Structure 1
Amino acid sequence: MTTTQEPTTAHDPAGTEEFTREWEEWHAAGQRALADPHGFLAVTSLHWLDAEPTRFPDAPGAWSTGPDGVRVELDEGEELLLDGEPVRGRYDFGVLPERASRYATAGEAVIEVAKRGGHDIVRPRHPDNPLLRAFTRTPTYAPDPRWALTGRYLPFEEPRPVTVGAAVEGLQHVYDAPGEIEFTLPDGGTHRLTAFNGFRPGTFHVLFTDATSGVTTYAANRSLSIDEPDAQGRVTVDFNRATNLPCAYTDLATCPLPPAENRLPAAVEAGERIPLERGGQP
């Protein structure tokens, strides 16, 4: 859907200094989280479990999955800490819900046990991983209030299940979409993006690509969090806060791809750019 309405920004240009300061604080917090010793840059491998108990070089124990969920069998001298309690011998993690993760500690490492796209996985995280140790920063566009837009939340009568692809070939994710976010870009085009539920109740998570994707921004996806609407259904769509998902940095992530309708034809020159780790420019 495209029209020629005038764009509406969510911030007065006179407040650019305060706008920039708030953006810098937000961006710095995201960079600290990315550089966490057990964050995604610390992931050393991605193991897809099956019924055969299998040992991996970067995690203790033999791991398998079946109708009763994930199981680990630890040899004598091997130990995990789960919720602060030592685990030895055989331990059953049980059946994990989709997109759930549990984390066990093994020395300096953290072992993530998760379900993604209906498959059980083990994903060890080591703080000495070279990708993490070499990380410096993520390039971005300069913050610009022109890209902080006032939009509208348009709820569906009922949430719609939406199947999307993933960064891992052959994997699919299914998310409930409660509605759409409508906004007008600075070029005058009005668009709608399918929104998924956010991490906090009432908030939204939007996956999108645009004309910068694969040029100055990561090709597969970018992500935008949107706070809950006000009483009139208005929301702030601040593309300055468009972020890379973990798959922008590592092939060991199972990130979802945007639904087909979330591919914007315009160039959104705001937010995070291609990571240096993927050949991005400073």
Structure 2
Amino acid sequence: MATAAQQEFNHLLAANTCCNRDSQRRHDGKDKDDDNLSSDNDSDDQEAAYHSAQIDAAMRGTPSDSTPELKLPPSSFDNGRATGVKGVIADARAFQTARRSRWKDRARSARQSIFGLGGALNNGSRSESETDDDACSSVSPHVAPTQISPNQDSDEEAFMHQWREARRRELESEDSRPVRSRRTSPSVRIYGFLDEVDALGYLDAIEKVTRETKVVVFVYDDACDVSATLESALLPLVRHHPTIHFVKVHFDEIEFDPAAVPSILAYQNQGDLFANLTGLIELMPDEAHYTQDSLSRLLRKHNVL
């Protein structure tokens, strides 16, 4: 028969065991509820992310989904061009850029109207440096692209019409601006030197000038004394007529007939030969000495000076 002390001990032990069981049961139940809540939250997050990805994919659809973009050369090829082939390429590039920008704006507006405040909160979870393109690239590749709506063709036509009108107004405004041309800039270039050139320099001298500029080419032979004498007589005329571009070139450089050296060739209108004084010695037979005055008379006779 158990004593009173033994009975008291057994009673306390049983009560403690019962409390432990109740506490463990409550703890297990709480863990289970937390697991269920976490599972529900994960499921909700995954579903929200899936729907967000689907909407992003749909809203980010551009006209390029149905119309392939032109393969254009690098932008440096036509930078700043408005006419010719490069101008056409520049217009095509500007149109594609405007079209992509327009569809991104429409996608952004659609997302804001769909998500409302919730969309703003979701977008707030992005880093500030992340762009729309970065977000687009994070969309799962398994999401199927949305089919193009039947109204897209009419939208494309309307946008193209608006873009063409804007481009036309831009070109008209550019045409109405006063253009600073060579005729409104200092019209006369000052030379006053007898520049020595090679074959390429000879071509540049007669072509890369204004149409009003006269170019006088002295073809010389460094082994000919008469050539040196005529060059000395020509130098004062060069200084006295600074608006005329005087150059000299060796006959070998332009494959000139050595029997016709020294000679003077005069050009105007960017390459038109108007005075061909080939063989100056034969053109000045009565001159005992080749002086500045005798050479000046010959050049004035042929409207060079």
Q: TM-score range by the shorter chain?
A: under 0.3
TM-score (norm 2): 0.20
TM-score (norm 1): 0.21
Structure with the greater relative contact order (CA < 8 A, sep ≥ 6): 1 or 2?
A: 1
User: 1 or 2, which has the higher strand percentage?
Assistant: 1
